[in-house]
Structure formats: structure tokens, C-alpha cells
């Protein structure tokens, strides 16, 4: 169907202004970086409009045009700001070379349904551009951190050496710092002790609570559920202050056990929510069948129910782990210096001395988080596959 959409060359009055608009956006960024956004917009629009006209009406050969644009803008970039600007210029050149002919030849129409009005086609592409912009907005802060963590200096600064891609501008010293400092290693060790213990407690209690609350005959189910989920809703600082005074009285403040219990309380809601969601798809006739075969409730749970709800339990456990591993407010109250966790160390380090060691740690943590989320996603797919196979 789609392939039948007619493709035709477009008039100058269409593609030149559109290219000019795109050039204005690009010019806004380049201009802002060089001091004047407005001037950048004007220059970008004029240059790109002229380029579009010349390429389609004078040069005409697409391959040559695209290479000329790419190399030309790369050279311009090189003279404006050295090698990094050259790469950016080349990227712009590649994009505009492609963009001009994409519009001129009418190729943009090829992949959309033939019955769409021009307005709908415009929206089709605008929507994609907006999505891309949101994605860039969300991901850029994380991406900026990564190269900075290889900085050879002790500041959050892209030094001239780094921008020239000079190897002297890069170093692993902040990673070394992280692995050699007793403060950081102590914090990692504390986090690795506290987070798994808290996760274990959250998963055990959360799973039991979810199974209990999914029984139709339990009274006040909604009220109990609301109470159990409240740590997620109550502002963290309130829970933390309350825990601080209570734990101080019972002698748990400043102990590892206290921090573990506090983090378990924060993690339980995540486990309850994910396990309850999995239990919706759980076929209760299976437990009756197991009982019919003579299995007691405990055996039924471990042999029949648990394997089927395992993806929910594991993803809840991962959330509980991340909650504990990332948590800074409660541990500042409930813990004392002996329980300093990784986020606590990052918090004080960032406040008292802006050292790129934090960026190195952040990069490592982003890596770990990506791994954990990949696991969650794989488990979710597995769970969906299983649910598709289960009867009913």
C-alpha cells in the first residue's frame, strides 16, 4: 500500500523555506555557542536557503552535492572551533545534504499513507521531532557526565585539551581515586551490605503481604494496602524524621540493622505493587489442583505459585534494591558515620568539594543501573510470554 504513494519533485517555494527553517534552528545552537543566538538564526536560515537552491538548481547531482555539503561544513567548523567543531560541522553537513534532497525529491511522502493531507504529513514528522527532542533533553545530562569523568583535572570542566581530543586531557585518575580511597570503598561496602539485606526483607514481607491481600476473603484489604504503600506516598523527609526519633528511643539509630529496617520499609511497597500485578494473571485453580493432589499450602506456594509469580517478585526486588542503593535522606537521619552509604558519600562530596570522583562513581552507577533495568525488561518479556501460554 504504502509503496504506492506517489512521489514527485517539489517546488522551490516549498523546500527552500523549510530548509531555511531547519537552518535557523541549527544556527540558533551554533550562534548561541558563539555569542549571538539571533545572528546565528539569520545566518543559518540564509546560508541553508541558498545552499538548498544551489544544490538543486545548479549542481543537481545528488551524490556530489551531499559530499560537498558535508566537507564544506566540516571545514567551516574546523576554522570556527577546531576538531570538535569539525565533527559537528560534518554532522550538520551530512544532515543538510540529505535533508535538501529528501524534501526536493519528495521522498518524505514515500513512507506515509497516500491519503494523508499535507497538514497530517507535517504533524507526522513534527511528532517525531518532538519525541526526539524530549529524548535528547532526558539523556544529555547523563551523557555529559561520562566524558567529564575521564577529565585529567580536578574540576567539572571540559578543558581545551579534552576538546582537542588530546590524550593528555584524559585520565583514569578519578576512577583510581574511587578505588583507592577508604572513604569511597567503605561507602561501597556499606551500600553492598545494606541494600541486599534490605532487599531480602522487602521481598519476603512484600511477597507475603501481596499474596495475603490478593485473597478475596481478607477484610479491610484496601485499607491495609494503603497503609503498606504509604512509605511511597508520605514525603521521605517526614518518614525519615519519624524514624529518627523512634529509632533513637529503641536504640536502633546509628546501627546497620536500623538502616536495613528503614530501607526495607521503603522497599516493601514496590514489591507489593509488582507482585500484586503478577498475581492478577495467576490462575487460582492451579492452587486448588495442587491441594487436590495432596500438597500442603507451603509446598503449593514454593512449587506452584512462586515459580509463576517469580518475575514480579524479582522485578519488585530490583526496585527495592535500587531504592536502598540510591537512598540518601533516610540514611542521613537513621544512620551515623559508621553506616555511610554510597549516596551519602556522594552527597557530602558534592556539597563540600566538587570533585570529579563523583562523576566516575556516577558513570559506574549508570552502568549498573542499565544492567539492572535490562534484567527487569527481560523478565517482563518472559512473564508476558508465560502469561500468553497459561490457560485462560
Nearer to another protein, 15 or 333 (CB): 333
User: Does 35 contact another protein by CB under 8 A?
Assistant: no
Does position 250 bind another protein by CB under 8 A? yes
Asked if 85 touches another protein (CB under 8 A), the answer is: no
Question: Which listed range, 76-84, 131-139, 225-233, 246-254, lies at the site for another protein (CB under 8 A)?
Answer: 246-254
- Per-residue interface string for the shown chain with another protein, residues 122-141, x marking contact by CB under 8 A: --------------------
Q: Which of the stretches 66-74, 247-255, 275-283, 373-381 binds another protein when contact is defined by CB under 8 A?
A: 247-255
- Which of 82, 89, 78, 80 has the alpha carbon at shortest distance from 158? 82
Applying CB under 8 A, the span of 70-78, 125-133, 230-238, 352-360 interacting with another protein comes to 352-360
Distances (CA, A) of 311 to 113, 126, 229, 387: 40, 38, 20, 11
Minimal distance, residue 4 CB to another protein, in Å? 57
Q: Answer positive or negative: Cα dihedral of 183, 185, 190, 195.
A: positive
Note whether 156 binds another protein by CB under 8 A.
yes
Least distance from another protein to the Cβ atom of residue 45, Å = 30
Distance CA 28, CA 40 (A): 5
Q: Binding of another protein at residue 256 (CB under 8 A)?
A: no
| Number of other CB atoms surrounding residue 247 within 10 Å | 21
Q: How many residues bind another protein (CB under 8 A)?
A: 27
Asked if 237 touches another protein (CB under 8 A), the answer is no
Point out which residues bind another protein (CB under 8 A).
Answer: 153-157, 241, 244-245, 248-255, 257, 336-338, 340, 348-349, 351-354
Amino acid at each position: 500500500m504504502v509503496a504506492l504513494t506517489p512521489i514527485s519533485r517539489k517546488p522551490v517555494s516549498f523546500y527552500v523555506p523549510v530548509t531555511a527553517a531547519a537552518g535557523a534552528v541549527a544556527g540558533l545552537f551554533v550562534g548561541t555557542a558563539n555569542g549571538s543566538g539571533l545572528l546565528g538564526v539569520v545566518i543559518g536560515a540564509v546560508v541553508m536557503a541558498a545552499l538548498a537552491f544551489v544544490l538543486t538548481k545548479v549542481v543537481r547531482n545528488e551524490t556530489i552535492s551531499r559530499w560537498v555539503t558535508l566537507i564544506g561544513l566540516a571545514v567551516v567548523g574546523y576554522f570556527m572551533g577546531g576538531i570538535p567543531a569539525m565533527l559537528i560541522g560534518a554532522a550538520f553537513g551530512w544532515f543538510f545534504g540529505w535533508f535538501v534532497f529528501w524534501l526536493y525529491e519528495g521522498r518524505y511522502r514515500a513512507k506515509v499513507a497516500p491519503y494523508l493531507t499535507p497538514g497530517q504529513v507535517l504533524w507526522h514528522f513534527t511528532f517525531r521531532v518532538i519525541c526526539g527532542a524530549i529524548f535528547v533533553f532526558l539523556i544529555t545530562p547523563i551523557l555529559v557526565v561520562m566524558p567529564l569523568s575521564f577529565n585529567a583535572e580536578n574540576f567539572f570542566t571540559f578543558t581545551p585539551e579534552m576538546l582537542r581530543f588530546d590524550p593528555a586531557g584524559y585520565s583514569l585518575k578519578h576512577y583510581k581515586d574511587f578505588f583507592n580511597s577508604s572513604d569511597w570503598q567503605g561507602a561501597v561496602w556499606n551500600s553492598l551490605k545494606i541494600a541486599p539485606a534490605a532487599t531480602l526483607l522487602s521481598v519476603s514481607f512484600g511477597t507475603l503481604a501481596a499474596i495475603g491481600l490478593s485473597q478475596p476473603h481478607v477484610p479491610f484489604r484496601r485499607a491495609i494496602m494503603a497503609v503498606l504503600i504509604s512509605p511511597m506516598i508520605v514525603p521521605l523527609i517526614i518518614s525519615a524524621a519519624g524514624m529518627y526519633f523512634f529509632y533513637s528511643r529503641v536504640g536502633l539509630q546509628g546501627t546497620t540493622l536500623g538502616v536495613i529496617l528503614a530501607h526495607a520499609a521503603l522497599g516493601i511497597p514496590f514489591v507489593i505493587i509488582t507482585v500484586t500485578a503478577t498475581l492478577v494473571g495467576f490462575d487460582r485453580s492451579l492452587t486448588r489442583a495442587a491441594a487436590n493432589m495432596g500438597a500442603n499450602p507451603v509446598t503449593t506456594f514454593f512449587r506452584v505459585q512462586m515459580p509463576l509469580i517469580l518475575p514480579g517478585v524479582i522485578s519488585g526486588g530490583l526496585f527495592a534494591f535500587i531504592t536502598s542503593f540510591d537512598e540518601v535522606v533516610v540514611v542521613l537521619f537513621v544512620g551515623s558515620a559508621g553506616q555511610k552509604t554510597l549516596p551519602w558519600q556522594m552527597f557530602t562530596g558534592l556539597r563540600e568539594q566538587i570533585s570529579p570522583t563523583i562523576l566516575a562513581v556516577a558513570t559506574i552507577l549508570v552502568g549498573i543501573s542499565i544492567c539492572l533495568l535490562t534484567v527487569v525488561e527481560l523478565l517482563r518479556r518472559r512473564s508476558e510470554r508465560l502469561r500468553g501460554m497459561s490457560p485462560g
